[in-house]
Structure 1
Amino acid sequence: MTEHRTDTLSVACYETTIKQNVHGHIPLHWHDELQFVAVLQGTALFHINDQKISVPKGDGIFINSGVMHMAQDNGGNDNCIYLCLNLTPQLVAPSDLYLKYVHPYMTATNLPFLYIDGVLTWGAQILDAIRLIRKELVSQAPYYELNVASTLLSLWTLLIKNGYVLEHDVSEMNKSRRMKDMLQWIHLNYADPVRLEDIARTGQLSRSETCRYFKQILRTTPMQYVMDYRIQKSIELLRLSDRSITEIAYEVGFNSTSYYINQFRKNVKKTPLRFRREVAEKK
């Protein structure tokens, strides 16, 4: 739902401190845009599909279009800060070259992400390009759009020259589509009663296959994911609204305030009321 663009370019570059997110981490999501990350401080732990990748200061990562991912601070004394560059795939190369040099890499099933090692020459050049694009977007000096476009083309060329031999596995593509369909359905219907049968029907799977998908890809069960997502949405309301605890509990899909408080305490290690008070004290 975030719009990643300037007035004239379908690109955005943010400096992100993971712990400052409303949830304390970057929740599971996906988007059509290509994403490049350059870690400036600390270490980020990315969950991409069913893999965990630790990315320390000085390195980065490329996350492909449509790939499910989340990020959390991997601890340490320094809060993790990174530059996050998101761009529409069509911006990478001229339309005459898009089908040959962009689309095959977007749809490759063996390229959900690519680690960018800052020690390697091509990796350092990509990370420098991310920082340069950030500088251009902030300053918006004359002709900055052309500088951004040319830097993006150079960045993409470095990536595909040093990436993988491409594979396109139809079964993997179908698995990803079904998983995202089920998650999208949960995100739209979490406030209503949710049954395993409903989730399975959305993914066109059996109940057991649905559980296997969630266990393999997200390391959780379908109903636990629903529970965690409801807690996430309640955290947003606790931070950003003055609704009562009971109102929030029912708004995010719980039919009992006490059950909501109990599940919130299990998930966040404190009660909703204490969480809200601590947020207020920090303001």
Structure 2
Amino acid sequence: MQTKNFKVDPNFKELTEHRTTVLPIACYRTTIRQNINGYIPLHWHEEFQFVRIMKGQAIFQIQEEKVTLHEGDGMFINSGCLHLAEDDNDSGCHYICLNVLPSFVLSQELFRTYVYPYIEATNLSYIILPTREHWAKNILDAILEIDRLIHQRPALYELDLTIQLTHIWRNLVVNGFPLEYKEADMLKNHRMKQMLNWIHHHYAEKIILEDIARAGQLSRSECCRYFKRFLKKSPLNYVMEYRIQKSLILLQQPEYNVTDVAYQVGFNSTSYFINQFRKSMNMTPLTYKKQKKITYHADS
């Protein structure tokens, strides 16, 4: 299973429900290029995420940092951390994505001591899981086993899932990653989410830099530094890219033409929309619309 139309709410929180029928855990096989955007856009969720690369390689951005993962390696992404993923060099990257609600990892009695400190740590956005490390390989193997259990559902698989999760968490704790708690880092993360939240609410309107900065209670220059640090781009470039992302969904709707879509996502000129779309997608909006129409009819 793969969610190709990746949806997030105005706060950039992913809307996908990460659970099986009865458990707050989900396991997906994801091919990055098959996403509607051609990559996994920036988002966050309450669940912990564990990734194991099955084929190719991917570039993940978590908060302010970018890392490259190769076939066989993996990663732990902490609860509430902004992240995105891109295929590296058209490698056809395919990975297992395991999402689990933190409260499900260990029992309530153990949660406060062994799980909550990891959620609150400001220096723990992610942990790379290199297959050469014994503790990391144990986690990567457990991800594979959970993937098998969820999709095959053998007898008592729910109990086996909880055993594997305990095994995963024990290996993270054994790794001995030092935990830090800095109020300044918490504030930065909160302000960045506030600015993104504002953009996602107002992207269809006229936006100037002062509006974005005000949402994060920052000066214009500090706002630019935040975006450069977190997203490696300017605030207004981010707005442009977000508008293009939103246009992809609308262009697949037969009732909207290119001009309709341009104005709905915040462009005040169809020609400017076409120009920016071409720069981002290497094709015109009309070509994209025709391609998706052909794909839709082929799948029908």
8 Å CA contact retained: 1:41, 1:82: yes
- The residue type paired with residue 277 of structure 1 is K
Cα deviation digits, residues 100-154 of structure 1 (max 9, x gap)? 1001111111111000011221111111111111111112223211111111111
Aligned to 2:84: 70
CA distance in structure 2 between the partners assigned to 1:216 and 1:241 by the alignment: 39
Which blocks of at least 5 consecutive residues in structure 1 are unaligned? none
Residue 252 of structure 1, aligned match among 265, 275, 278: 265
Does 2:129 align with 1:124?
no
- Per the alignment, in what secondary structure is the counterpart of residue 50 of structure 2? strand
Aligned to 2:42: 28
Give the share of equivalent positions with the same residue, in percent.
Answer: 49
CA distance in structure 2 between the partners assigned to 1:94 and 1:17 by the alignment: 33
Aligned to 1:235: 248
Aligned to 1:44: 58
TM-score normalised per structure 2: 0.91
CA distance in structure 2 between the partners assigned to 1:169 and 1:240 by the alignment: 46
Q: How many residues align?
A: 282
- Per the alignment, in what secondary structure is the counterpart of residue 252 of structure 2? helix
Greater shift after overlay, 165-174 or 268-277?
A: 268-277
8 Å CA contact retained: 1:37, 1:62: yes
Cα deviation digits, residues 30-60 of structure 1 (max 9, x gap)? 1111000000000011111221111011100
CA gap of 1:239–1:160, structure 2 versus 1, over 3 A, is farther
8 Å CA contact retained: 1:114, 1:163: no
Residue 162 of structure 1, aligned match among 165, 168, 175: 175
Residue 172 of structure 1, aligned match among 171, 185, 188: 185
CA gap of 1:55–1:241, structure 2 versus 1, over 3 A, is farther
CA gap of 1:28–1:126, structure 2 versus 1, over 3 A, is same
CA distance in structure 1 between the partners assigned to 2:127 and 2:186 by the alignment: 18
- The residue type paired with residue 59 of structure 2 is L
CA distance in structure 1 between the partners assigned to 2:68 and 2:253 by the alignment: 31
8 Å CA contact retained: 1:32, 1:66: yes
Aligned to 2:224: 211
Shift of 1:175: 0.2
Does 2:17 align with 1:3?
yes
CA distance in structure 1 between the partners assigned to 2:126 and 2:117 by the alignment: 14
Which blocks of at least 5 consecutive residues in structure 2 are unaligned? 1-14
Aligned to 1:14: 28
TM-score normalised per structure 1: 0.96
